[in-house]
Amino acid sequence: MSSAAVQTATPTQPTGKASRTKPADSDRSRAENSLGRKLVAPAIVLMLLVTAFPMLRALYLSLFQYSLTAPEERSFVGVDNYVTALTDPLFWQTTANTVGIMVITVAFELVIGFAFAMVMHRVIFARGVIRTSILIPYGIITVVSGFAWQFAFSNTNGFVNSWLPFLGDDFNWFASYESSMIAIMVSEIWKTTPFMSLLLLAGLAQVSEDMIEAAKVDGATWFQRLFKVILPNMRAAIMVAVLFRALDAYRIFDNIFVMTAGANGTSSISFLTYRQVIEQFQLGIGSALSVLLFLSVLVVAFVIVKVFRVDLASARQER
Amino acid sequence: MERRPRRPVRRALAATAALACGSALLSACAGGDSGKPTLNWYINPDGQETLTQLAEQCSTDEYDIAIQLLPTSATDQRTQLARRLAARDSSTDLMSLDPVFVPEFANAGWLAPFEGDLADQVVDDDVLAGAAETVMWEDQVVAAPQWANTQVLWFRRSLAEQAGLDMSQPVTWDQVIEAAASVDGATVGVQADRYEAYVVWINALVEGAGGSIVEDTEAGREAEVTIDSEAGREAAAVIQKLADSGATQPDFTTSNEGTSLGRMFPEDGGPGEFMNNWTFVYKNYEGTIGTPGGPADQEAFEDLGWARYPRTVEGEPSKPPIGGIDIGVGAYSENLDFAQEAAVCVTSPEAQSALAVNDGLMPSRASVYDSPELQEAYPADLLDLYRESIEEGGPRPKSAFYSQISSAVQSVWHPPTSVSPESTPEESAEFLRAVLDGEALL
Residue-wise pLDDT for A91-110, tens only, equals 999 999 999 999 999 999 99
Disruptive mutation site among B137, B252, B441 for chain A (greatest number of A CBs within 10 Å): B441
In SS3 terms, B71-89 reads as CCCHHHHHHHHHHHHHCCC
* Residues B384 and B359 both lie in one domain: yes
Same domain for B156 and B266? yes
| DSSP tag of B39 | E
- The per-residue b/e assignment along B349-361, b for 16 or more CB within 10 angstroms, e otherwise, is eebbbbbbbbbbb
- A232 lies in a domain? yes
Q: Is residue B31 part of a domain?
A: yes
Is B156 contained in some domain?
yes
In this structure, is residue B403 part of a structural domain? no
Band of pLDDT at residue A310, cut at 50, 70 and 90: low
**Residue B95: strand pairing partners:** B42, B328
Residues of chain B found within 8 Å of residue A278, distances taken between Cβ atoms: 79
**DSSP 3-state of B153:** strand
Domain of residue B168, residue span: 151-307
Q: Is A9 part of a structural domain of the chain?
A: no
State which residues form the domain around A160.
90-316
In a domain, A288, yes or no: yes
Q: Would an 8 Å CB–CB cutoff place A93 in contact with chain B?
A: no
**ipTM metric:** 0.70
Q: Is A20's pLDDT higher than 60?
A: no
Among A67, A88, A285, the residue with its CB nearest the CB of B401 is A67
pTM of this prediction?
Answer: 0.77
Strands A75-76 and A64-65: antiparallel
- For residues B145 and B170, state if they share a domain: no
pLDDT of residue A128: 85
Q: Give, to the nearest 10 degrees, the angle between helix B349-359 and helix B48-58.
A: 160
Cα dist from B22 to B17, B25, B26, B64, B90, whole Å: 8, 5, 6, 23, 21
In this structure, is residue B245 part of a structural domain?
Answer: yes
Q: How far is B82 from chain A (nearest CA, A)?
A: 9
* Domain boundary residue, one of B307, B340, B358: B307
- At B215, the amino acid letter reads E
Calculate ∠ Cα A21-A23-A29, nearest 5°: 145
Give the closest-approach CA distance of A5 to chain B in angstroms. Answer: 31
Query: How long is chain A?
Result: 319
- Collapsing DSSP to helix, strand or coil, B108 comes out as coil
> Do the domain assignments include residue A274?
yes
In a domain, A209, yes or no: yes
Half-sphere exposure of B301 (CA within 13 A, CB side): 16
Of B45, B421, B422, B441, the C-alpha closest to B236 is: B421
Query: Does residue B200 lie within any of the structural domains?
Result: yes
Q: Specify the CATH number for the domain of residue A300.
A: 1.10.3720.10
Partner B, chain A 277-296, Cβ-Cβ below 8 Å: 278-282, 284-285, 289
Residue A317 reports pLDDT greater than 70: no
Report the C-alpha gap between A158 and B85 in whole angstroms: 39
Q: Are the Cβ atoms of B441 and A88 closer than 8 angstroms?
A: yes
In a domain, residue A216? The reply is: yes
- In 3D, which of B358, B442, B317, B7 has the Cα closest to residue A267? B442
Q: Tell whether A78 is covered by a domain.
A: no
Q: Considering only CA atoms, give the Rg of chain A.
A: 26
Question: How far is Cα A251 from Cα A265, in angstroms, rounded to an integer?
Answer: 17
In a domain, B425, yes or no: no
Which of A65, A155, A261 is closest, CB to CB, to B251? Answer: A155
**What are the backbone dihedrals phi and psi of residue B330, each rounded to the nearest 5 degrees, phi first?**
-65, 130
Is residue B259 helix, strand or coil?
coil
Q: What tens-digit pLDDT sequence spans chain B (442 residues)? A: 334 444 555 555 555 555 454 444 444 444 445 688 999 999 998 889 999 999 999 999 999 999 999 998 888 899 999 999 999 999 999 999 999 999 999 999 999 999 999 999 999 999 998 889 899 998 999 999 999 989 999 999 999 999 999 999 999 999 999 999 999 999 999 999 988 899 999 999 999 999 999 999 888 889 999 999 999 999 999 999 999 998 999 889 989 999 999 999 998 888 999 999 999 899 889 989 999 889 999 999 999 999 999 999 999 999 999 999 999 999 999 999 999 999 999 999 999 999 998 888 899 999 999 999 999 989 999 999 999 999 899 989 999 889 889 999 998 999 999 999 999 999 999 999 999 988 888 8
Position B4 in a domain = no
Up-side HSE of residue B419: CA atoms within 13 Å toward CB?
28
In a domain, B314, yes or no: no
User: Quick check: is A79 in a domain?
Assistant: no
- Amino acid A253: pLDDT: 94
Q: What is the CATH number of the domain that holds B183?
A: 3.40.190.10
Q: Are residues B160 and B254 in the same domain?
A: yes
Query: Is there a contact between A289 and A301 (Cβ–Cβ < 8 Å)?
Result: no
Number of domains in chain B: 2
What is the tens place of the pLDDT at every residue in A55-93? 999 999 999 999 888 888 888 998 999 999 999 999 999
Closest-CA residue in chain B for A169?
Answer: B250
Same domain as B158, residue B102: no
Residues 6+ apart with CB under 8 A from A74: A64, A65, A66, A67, A284
Where do runs of H (alpha helix) occur along A123-234?
Answer: 127-139, 142-153, 160-163, 177-206, 209-217, 222-224, 231-233
**Nearest to residue B195, comparing CAs of A70, A257, A286?**
A257
In which band, very low, low, confident or very high, does the pLDDT at A305 lie, cut at 50, 70 and 90? confident
Report whether B260 contacts B249 (CB < 8 A).
yes
Is residue B169 domain-shared with residue B119, that is, in the same domain? no
Helices (H), ranges, B193-271: 196-208, 230-244
Q: For A156, list phi and psi in degrees, rounded to 5.
A: -100, -40
Q: Are A70 and A154 in contact (CB under 8 A)?
A: no
Query: Are residue B287 and residue B163 in the same domain, yes or no?
Result: yes
Structural domain total, chain A: 1
Do B28 and B133 reside in the same domain of the chain? Answer: yes
